[in-house]
Amino acid sequence: MQDLDIAAVARRSGLPASTLRYYEEKGLIASIGRRGLRRLFDPGVLERLALIALARASGFSLDEIAAMFAPDGTPRIDRQQLAAKAEELDRTIRDLSALRDGLRHAAACPAPSHLECPTFRRLMQAAAAGTIRAPRRRVPQPD
């Protein structure tokens, strides 16, 4: 397979060229040259972008993702870090499931007021105590 220009990488990866340039600036990917004004990439960049997409979907930060690659670009993924992220996702799933169940109960609760519903009050107390939290919002990437 021959080298891909930035437009081809953007089309195949589904990422805007601005994100590809940002990833290059952060050291996540590297161009191998230029064809005119367009950056050129090795076809292997698509697999690397797929790995980055999986890590982003799993909640890893760009700095954490950058550390997942050796200086030569080969992946060096820490298995303990993956296990820790899986545990974090399990906690988030439990928290969100409890929140969902509480909201469903509150929506159908026959109490005259939500504040008279013991389940809803427990949900409010858990939120106030920080026991349940909203999921982290992802920072959008430049377009």
Q: Are residues 15 and 36 in the same domain?
A: yes
Residue 38 DSSP SS3: strand
Q: Are residues 52 and 87 in the same domain?
A: no
Number of domains in the chain: 2
Which among 96, 94, 101, 93 has a CA at the least distance from the CA of 120? 101
Residue 21 CA from chain centroid, whole number: 19
Query: Is residue 71 one of the residues assigned to a domain?
Result: no
Q: What mean pLDDT do residues 100-106 have?
A: 88
Q: Are residues 95 and 42 in the same domain?
A: no
Q: Are residues 90 and 62 in the same domain?
A: no
For the domain that residue 42 is a member of, what is the CATH number?
A: 1.10.1660.10
The dihedral formed by the CA atoms of 85, 89, 92 and 94, expressed in degrees to the nearest 10: -130
Query: Is residue 39 one of the residues assigned to a domain?
Result: yes
pTM of the model: 0.76
- Name every residue whose Cβ is closer than 8 Å to that of residue 102 and which is 6 or more positions away in sequence: 119, 120, 122, 123
pLDDT for 27-60, tens place per residue?
999 998 888 888 899 999 999 999 999 999 999 9
φ, ψ at 92 (rounded to 5°): -65, -40
Q: Are residues 11 and 61 in the same domain?
A: yes
Give the domain extent around 88. Answer: 79-129
Query: What does the pLDDT read at residue 19?
Result: 95
Q: Are residues 40 and 84 in the same domain?
A: no
Q: Are residues 90 and 115 in the same domain?
A: yes
Query: Is residue 28 one of the residues assigned to a domain?
Result: yes
Put the strands of the sheet holding 33-35 in their side by side order.
Answer: 4-5, 38-41, 33-35
The residue among 27, 45, 66 that closes a domain is 66
pLDDT for 110-131, tens place per residue?
999 888 988 888 888 888 888 8
Which residues are 5's β-sheet partners?
A: 40
- Name every residue whose Cβ is closer than 8 Å to that of residue 115 and which is 6 or more positions away in sequence: 121
pLDDT surpasses 90 at 99: no
b (16+ CB within 10 A) / e for 30-47: ebeeeeeebbbbbeebbe
Structural contact between residues 90 and 50, judged by C-beta atoms closer than 8 angstroms: no
Q: Are residues 61 and 97 in the same domain?
A: no
